Amino acid sequence: MKIVFATNNTNKLKEIQSLVPEGIIIKSLTDINCTEDIPETGETLKENAKQKTDYILENYQRVNCFSDDTGLEIEALNGAPGVYSARYAGPQKNSEDNMELVLENLKNQENRSAQFKTVISLFLDDKQYFFEGICRGVIRLERSGTDGFGYDPIFQPEGYEQTFAEMPMEEKNKISHRGRAVQKLIEFLKNYK
């Protein structure tokens, strides 16, 4: 089975490719010659994920495709950055700037509870399906670790002493929001038809 993953993020692509079993081939946007930035104008993660699969269907006639949208939701910031996680510090979508702004906004906050949420939108054989994964944790006082991407250096998952950026990818994939959503997607695909 071949499925297009509607993302330009090579880190996400590698993460997903490392999780899917043999027999499922994940194609990238580059593989279908899609170089444009797919719009994300929804007010929820689910809307953004659906918007991306719809875009591929409308513009590339690819029936089997999926996309995801992920947000970091911080309790003390009323769920922000949420749907704006990638561009929290501005349209340049710079991870360092985004982390800096989060740390600045949490400077005097004792409550550092947060969660990552991923919503996957799958379009398969003319039907739409959604899968969600959540990973709870806290925002550290400062960055730690060099692996991962995005907010990984400041997010410490519940039950762990390390940030996502300090974990090997295999370990992170077992407990991460994206890993959990992808596991649901994979189970669905394994049992499909």
Per-residue pLDDT of the chain (193 residues; tens, 9 = 90+): 889 999 878 878 887 887 787 888 899 999 899 988 888 899 999 999 999 999 999 998 867 999 999 999 999 999 999 999 999 999 888 999 999 999 999 999 999 999 999 999 999 998 999 999 999 999 999 999 998 889 999 999 999 999 999 999 889 988 999 889 999 998 998 888 6
Q: Are 122 and 129 in contact (CB under 8 A)?
A: yes
Q: Which residues have C-beta within 8 Å of that of residue 16, sequence separation ≥ 6?
A: 5, 26, 178, 182
- Specify the CATH number of the domain 2-191: 3.90.950.10
Provide the token pair at 97: 């700037």
Q: Which residues have C-beta within 8 Å of that of residue 25, sequence separation ≥ 6?
A: 1, 2, 3
Catalytic residue among 31, 54, 69, 97: 69
Q: Is 69 a catalytic residue?
A: yes
Domain positions in the chain are: 2-191
Predicted model pTM: 0.89
